[in-house]
Structure 1
């Protein structure tokens, strides 16, 4: 290749060099220039040429690769805006497969990724020569070329195998059939060359080269076997490969023992290779469980040998051990192998076969050995774990809490224990009970091995708690043994104090008498003391969380322990340094605040002062920020007020979490909305800061439909807090956006939106009706089109009625617009709406809704509307039914409107949420009742007055004619309420 770059390429090379600078003043202009060139013809050709010049600075070439990858993602597809031209694409594709001699691994890997990205789009239709070229290059005798070709083939296969459309899958399956044997032979060759090289003490570099190729071909075979066959067990070559895995793993494990002293890289590569062999089995079990039936027996024998025999365990290392545990767990848990499927064995013979293999393997002797070895060997804390505990107790505790069973050793073996114990409880429960009995006596503090063994047994009892419910008298064990062990303060006994604490927490919600809960709380407080070991204190905090989060938790019973527990947790929160640990402790405190409610008030001042400091620490830790916001929600609710010290802290947090222009919204939005709502509900009045905060709401409503309900609740709380101010400052814009997003909302969200509209009108009938004008056409159309969802229709009719009562002018405007939309007369439109109204009014389940509709029907009688008078009889029926629903007769025979506030009744009579403490928000909702027509106007009296007005409007003759439209039964019932 000509190394003299053309001028444009020289400029590009210079810009890439600047883009690799660590100086932001040099870097940012270069990045901006590269972004400008992204859509220029020839840009990606120039990048590819620079990547291909081996002597250039590696950082420059790497940046060129990154920009080329980004370009493929954005502009490679033919229908993309500013798509790369066909000529340029062909040049790049041809260049990528014409040379496989890249000397640097990191650039070679990126080139392979480039090929795979293009292949996923173009192969095979637009790049038919790719796969033949790769297979040809794989046969090259030059080791480097062969390695790069195999590397590229792996990434291509990985990319194509991930396509899920049926046509793409068929193409991949056809490809698999054609190349599987070829790749299998390569893998066999490279793996055999590696093992013979090691056993013959050959050159390490040769061994590394063969092992790298063996690993790459194994990765290819895994993709082909798992995704390239519809039913892998029906392909003989695939099954041969799968059955070879066990012997290959055995041989390679032997090789691994020979690699000590030959360098860390080859040892790690060998471990990665062995792990990938087991990963093939895990993938097949996960995706093709029926095909895996042919491997169940071998897999169980294989894993049993290495995990549970002295001969096999000498070959173990962590990743291999985890994979072996995961294979066992997958086999035991697989739904296709469950005994429940055996009942359908006529239809599912595979399930019967798999179940038989499992049951024949897991004989009582084997199960007993597995259980005992897990408990007495694997569960025992290792010296490395104890060293970690001493050096960094927080990391030790977090490791215990967090890692997934798929990737971490202790969780993997614990989940296998739980899985097997649950599946074979009848066999294993007596085994574990015997282990409990053997370790029942107090262990001398100096006997570290005895302590570790007991710790392991207690761990097993904790994990199997649900399956040991009938086997263990936990109350007696707790009172007679566990409490005594917690009192021993020797340093070695911290191991048991921590484990006993966790054990108690686990059993609290399963089988702990309520009478023993005070003793439990006393234990936890004892373990939370500042002179106790940090890991023990953290375990005690977890136990306390489980205890107070339990269904049977009694806040009154906990009252005497609240102050010391909360104070000690707060002290722990200040002492821990890890973000994850702080989040855990804060979560416990938050749970406590939530469960004890307002009784936390006397003990919360220190936490209130500390949270702002903790918030500053959380700037780089989003999940800790979420935990802080969640704690603030519970704290504000529990305090029942926003204390002055908190307000300057709360508003900026809410603003940050609800500002659509700020990145933290991704993590904080929902919790911040909850906090916002809690602050509003517990504030006596509106402040300038809170009304300014509401500036975020319009964008929030348009940001995501997932938080619409919370946004509506916040909006309702705002308008109740300062009705006129909110309506005038934000109301119109909010309603306009609500109308825009309404078509994307589900019924539940529509209901919340309609409640907001309803509140707008109720708080200020005149101004509110004007404010909701943008959304009224949608509501009127909902009635016109006969909305099918009953609750939504009921709200439509409720709001329709309130608009009619609040502003006949606005009602008429919306009706006129609707008539114009459907090219009808206003009377025709009104008639259709009246028909729907009268037909659907009975579906309203709430008497308040039916009464407001009854008031609106009474009002509309005197509007001299022909569609109304034509339906006079039907209107009378609906008003009569409403009167029947709301009229109550007392003991003295006096009738009254049951929804009207009368002497001796407070708003609480109609709005009782049953809370022991009423928030300001609840009180404001009750105050609405004082001005609501439903609760201030007697329907019977108003209806009577409207009848008299109608009579005067029509005159005696026309009035009598109208009354004659009613049937006699309706007439006689109405006369019990009004006179005609």
Structure 2
């Protein structure tokens, strides 16, 4: 069908039918085809502009137009809209500013904003001048309120779109144009506000609000120094007057639009502080703004405290006030160094900080703010108590994971921490005295809440005032007695707070003896059937226990007497919880406990934890709870690690879960595979070395590894670690078709492999080259897959680092040492001039600092020379002098035993991370993989078994008939050393 206006209109009518028919499907398909046709978007705009057409047809046209602009406006896009069509479209963007349907206008605003984002300033330089003239016309010449409203809607979206630009000219061009448009907007705002304020004209009130909304966006983004602009200084003075007036009139004339005004002022101030705090402070009205919010926090504290809706007007306003004050307090403390993009004059910063410190944040004001926050804003509110009673798990989970920028109490806590940190000298004695006076007995809920607020203050200044408080004494004399007082049911509030205090202070200042007291206390809090230990107390205790266990100073021997009983209590707690998040907290704590207490967790306790996993796994019936399966996989992994040589006991549970989470047929592969692979890795690493028959189920899993390596490259390091484990358990598995496919994938990955994956790849190949070099099938798979060639090419790629290339040379050294004939044959196959490879290898050798790696290379060189020189292979004969010199230098660096070992050889193997966990805790037994690797090195690695002096002497002895011709390539040092060695 040809594209023209009439045909398009007919298709839009068909596509807009209410009943789904084949005709409608065909119409939608036709619209998709026309997207790439010249003139399509112009005709769509024409349909939208026809006010006599049905609203639904116009709506469909503007939606298609907006989406098409997004996809096809850029000239670099396929089927891009032509320049001629673009110009026609832009000429008509404002032809219907009198549109009365707000939703159509908003969609047109979105489309216009996208066009402005693409075309301004290069192809639409007069954009802001156009808006200025249009606003002047509709307000002061035609008095068209609807058109003014619609133009402001469009302008708001345009500024929003351009201000998001971080690269390119658009943002800077907008800043250059801001002085043109802003005076007009300020004039409109000043014109409309007194009119609607006197007669409550809602239409004019909405238009005035849009002026304010646009100004809220463009002032912070469009001006480097608003405090130097007279119009803006007057405007900000006007806004604070209006803010104060609207707050005073709120109870009398409360409305959603009026509240939006007040919130918009808050956003304006906050945006300016975020962008340029110095400029905000230097505004003549800044002190009035800060005073207004400080007064509001004080005067409306009770309203905020008693509010039950977090969108309550006073609560939202108080939240903005706290955020503004927090930003300003941080600005003072950091001496103005709170933004990177501002190059504000140092004198201005000094003047701003001096003004704040002397005229606003006086010691009296700081103490009043601190007292206000403790009294009202740190305190649990009636809505909190209601949530505690009605939905305890949900309330606790939200409290533990809340975002402080969006909730009043968490925001107050962060603000209080800033106050106590930045004004420590002013507040430390004040707060400590307040806490000391408030630690009296509690007889009512009111006194419990007051004490909880004071203890919250104590919790929050852990880092700032740790040197002023004897926490160990306070714990024993105050906190523990408070926690054990069960005379009042509301004491559970104090128990929760004490857990939170311990969570903060244990990381800062807590002795070993006090930690034992903490273990006893948490054990008490986890006890069942105690009214004071409700779900919230238990969940908070569980979180605190995780933090204590995970702390650097945790001592597992001190925790051992409590270990079994606390595990039982945790298993009991998880069965009490209903919500997924609550169970996650318990499982996470169990995982940390097993990890930190390895190896003192006894077999029976681990079996008890293991027993709960299948039932919980089966109980998860929907995708929303998949996160719980992830947690179970992590918990099971830690059980496998803790069982070590007894990990075979987990196979009945672990192997089916590996299959159902990390194989191609796993239904939830995308969500579970990462943790499934981690579990798989633990199973094969801790596979007992004593199992000589090899578990067939473990071996059969190997066939699933190819899918992961092909499809989950973001966790390639984990997958390669699994491959490495199989290389130690049964390297012949890699001679299979799956091994061939894996090697082929690795050949393509190698040039751009990430460092963590590359390190594991290198250690894997080192293991295979040590154990499999003489296996013809292995070498065949390695060559046919292209991996061996990729490794050779990697060493010659000058874009790769020398360190990385040297690691590949170490692997190739294994091949050269064990089978020099194969090495030379491969070199001659891959390179027209093998001498380039040898010369670069010798050059890179100079970058080794590790004696073990040097010896590995030199043993390979000896083996190659011994094979190549008698056969007169020229490119080895020419390098003899370099090899000999490096060998003599090496002997001067090391002091080997007769057997060839040396203390410096015992570290820095290519499988470096295998000993990391033992360095952390030498009480942990080596796992099966470490034993297998040690056995492999002992059986196959010549580094610790062959004395290099003897190897060199033997090599020179066998090459004696050829030395006369070889000496010519040697320098004086090497010649003398050769003569000395041969004569021995």
* TM-score of the aligned structures, taking structure 1 as reference length: 0.85
Distance between the aligned counterparts of 1:648 and 1:896, measured in 2?
44
How far does residue 31 in structure 1 lie from its aligned partner after superposition? 7.0
Match of 1:892 in 2: none
Counterparts of residues 475-486 of structure 1 (less than 5 Å): 475-486=472-483
The question of 1:934 aligning with 2:934 is answered no
Match of 1:357 in 2: 355
Distance between the aligned counterparts of 1:580 and 1:215, measured in 2?
42
Distance between the aligned counterparts of 2:49 and 2:672, measured in 1?
45
Distance between the aligned counterparts of 1:731 and 1:32, measured in 2?
47
The change in CA–CA distance for 1:815 and 1:14 in structure 2 (over 3 A counts) is: same
Match of 2:388 in 1: 389
Q: After superposition, what is the alpha-carbon deviation per residue over 1:285-333, rounded to whole angstroms, capped at 9, x for unaligned?
A: 1111221221453333222221135799799701111110001100111
Conservation of the 8 A alpha-carbon contact between 1:612 and 1:649 = no
Structure 1 residue corresponding to 2:455, chosen from 458, 471, 486: 458
Match of 1:873 in 2: 881
SS at match of 1:10: helix
Moved more, 46-55 or 104-113: 46-55
Match of 1:216 in 2: 210
Moved more, 67-76 or 218-227: 67-76
Q: After superposition, what is the alpha-carbon deviation per residue over 1:14-73, rounded to whole angstroms, capped at 9, x for unaligned?
A: 33547x97x9x9999987776555435555456546655779887776665554433222
Distance between the aligned counterparts of 2:979 and 2:675, measured in 1?
56
Q: After superposition, what is the alpha-carbon deviation per residue over 1:241-276, rounded to whole angstroms, capped at 9, x for unaligned?
A: 22322112111212322234xxxxxx2332222111
Structure 2 residue corresponding to 1:243, chosen from 237, 242, 253: 237
The question of 1:11 aligning with 2:11 is answered yes
The question of 1:950 aligning with 2:959 is answered yes
Distance between the aligned counterparts of 2:129 and 2:272, measured in 1?
28
Match of 1:763 in 2: 771
Q: After superposition, what is the alpha-carbon deviation per residue over 1:890-936, rounded to whole angstroms, capped at 9, x for unaligned?
A: xxxxx221179x9xxxx999986635222222222223211234355
Structure 2 residue corresponding to 1:448, chosen from 431, 445, 450: 445
Match of 2:580 in 1: 579
How far does residue 856 in structure 1 lie from its aligned partner after superposition? 1.5
Q: After superposition, what is the alpha-carbon deviation per residue over 1:916-968, rounded to whole angstroms, capped at 9, x for unaligned?
A: 222222222223211234355554555455445434xxx4xx54454686678
Match of 2:554 in 1: 553
Distance between the aligned counterparts of 1:26 and 1:565, measured in 2?
68
Distance between the aligned counterparts of 1:526 and 1:516, measured in 2?
15
The change in CA–CA distance for 1:975 and 1:364 in structure 2 (over 3 A counts) is: same
The change in CA–CA distance for 1:911 and 1:173 in structure 2 (over 3 A counts) is: closer
Conservation of the 8 A alpha-carbon contact between 2:244 and 2:292 = no
How far does residue 523 in structure 1 lie from its aligned partner after superposition? 1.4
Distance between the aligned counterparts of 1:380 and 1:873, measured in 2?
81
Structure 1 residue corresponding to 2:275, chosen from 287, 301, 305: 287
The change in CA–CA distance for 1:597 and 1:156 in structure 2 (over 3 A counts) is: same
SS at match of 2:930: helix
The change in CA–CA distance for 1:28 and 1:948 in structure 2 (over 3 A counts) is: farther
The question of 1:851 aligning with 2:855 is answered yes
Counterparts of residues 130-149 of structure 1 (less than 5 Å): 134-135=131-132, 136=134, 138-139=138-139, 141-149=143-151
Conservation of the 8 A alpha-carbon contact between 2:301 and 2:377 = no
How far does residue 194 in structure 1 lie from its aligned partner after superposition? 3.4
Structure 1 residue corresponding to 2:678, chosen from 657, 674, 685: 674
Distance between the aligned counterparts of 1:131 and 1:885, measured in 2?
74
The question of 1:439 aligning with 2:433 is answered no
Match of 1:274 in 2: 262
SS at match of 1:83: coil
Match of 2:471 in 1: 474
Instruction: State the aligned residue count.
Output: 926
How far does residue 156 in structure 1 lie from its aligned partner after superposition? 1.4
How far does residue 548 in structure 1 lie from its aligned partner after superposition? 0.9
Conservation of the 8 A alpha-carbon contact between 2:178 and 2:222 = yes
The question of 1:694 aligning with 2:702 is answered no
Moved more, 861-870 or 623-632: 623-632
Q: After superposition, what is the alpha-carbon deviation per residue over 1:120-170, rounded to whole angstroms, capped at 9, x for unaligned?
A: 112354456765665526536444333222211211121122233463234
Conservation of the 8 A alpha-carbon contact between 2:657 and 2:676 = no
Conservation of the 8 A alpha-carbon contact between 2:301 and 2:376 = no
Counterparts of residues 724-739 of structure 1 (less than 5 Å): 724-739=732-747
Match of 1:805 in 2: 817
Q: After superposition, what is the alpha-carbon deviation per residue over 1:602-654, rounded to whole angstroms, capped at 9, x for unaligned?
A: 32445434445555356225655554444343333223326123234432454
How far does residue 460 in structure 1 lie from its aligned partner after superposition? 0.6
Match of 1:487 in 2: 484
Conservation of the 8 A alpha-carbon contact between 2:747 and 2:787 = yes
The change in CA–CA distance for 1:629 and 1:122 in structure 2 (over 3 A counts) is: farther
Distance between the aligned counterparts of 1:416 and 1:109, measured in 2?
38
The question of 1:176 aligning with 2:171 is answered no
Distance between the aligned counterparts of 1:525 and 1:456, measured in 2?
25
How far does residue 418 in structure 1 lie from its aligned partner after superposition? 0.7
How far does residue 339 in structure 1 lie from its aligned partner after superposition? 8.3
The change in CA–CA distance for 1:76 and 1:316 in structure 2 (over 3 A counts) is: closer
Structure 1 residue corresponding to 2:519, chosen from 518, 521, 530: 521
How far does residue 785 in structure 1 lie from its aligned partner after superposition? 6.5
SS at match of 1:511: coil
Q: After superposition, what is the alpha-carbon deviation per residue over 1:389-435, rounded to whole angstroms, capped at 9, x for unaligned?
A: 11111222123222322211111111111101111111111111111
Match of 2:397 in 1: 398
Distance between the aligned counterparts of 1:13 and 1:458, measured in 2?
67
Conservation of the 8 A alpha-carbon contact between 2:66 and 2:108 = no
The question of 1:896 aligning with 2:905 is answered no
Unaligned runs of 5+ in 2: 305-311, 689-694
The question of 1:713 aligning with 2:721 is answered yes
Conservation of the 8 A alpha-carbon contact between 2:49 and 2:96 = no
Conservation of the 8 A alpha-carbon contact between 1:708 and 1:749 = yes
The change in CA–CA distance for 1:493 and 1:280 in structure 2 (over 3 A counts) is: same
Conservation of the 8 A alpha-carbon contact between 1:307 and 1:313 = no
Distance between the aligned counterparts of 1:108 and 1:36, measured in 2?
26
Greater relative contact order (Cα < 8 A, sep 6+): 2
Structure 2 residue corresponding to 1:815, chosen from 827, 845, 853: 827
Structure 2 residue corresponding to 1:650, chosen from 652, 657, 664: 657
The change in CA–CA distance for 1:272 and 1:109 in structure 2 (over 3 A counts) is: same
* TM-score of the aligned structures, taking structure 2 as reference length: 0.85
Q: After superposition, what is the alpha-carbon deviation per residue over 1:800-827, rounded to whole angstroms, capped at 9, x for unaligned?
A: 322323454653455335544xxxxx3x
Structure 1 residue corresponding to 2:326, chosen from 323, 326, 329: 329
Conservation of the 8 A alpha-carbon contact between 1:337 and 1:355 = no
Distance between the aligned counterparts of 2:640 and 2:66, measured in 1?
50
Distance between the aligned counterparts of 2:331 and 2:660, measured in 1?
46
Conservation of the 8 A alpha-carbon contact between 1:569 and 1:585 = yes
Unaligned runs of 5+ in 1: 199-205, 261-266, 821-825, 890-894
Conservation of the 8 A alpha-carbon contact between 1:306 and 1:312 = no
Distance between the aligned counterparts of 1:817 and 1:212, measured in 2?
80
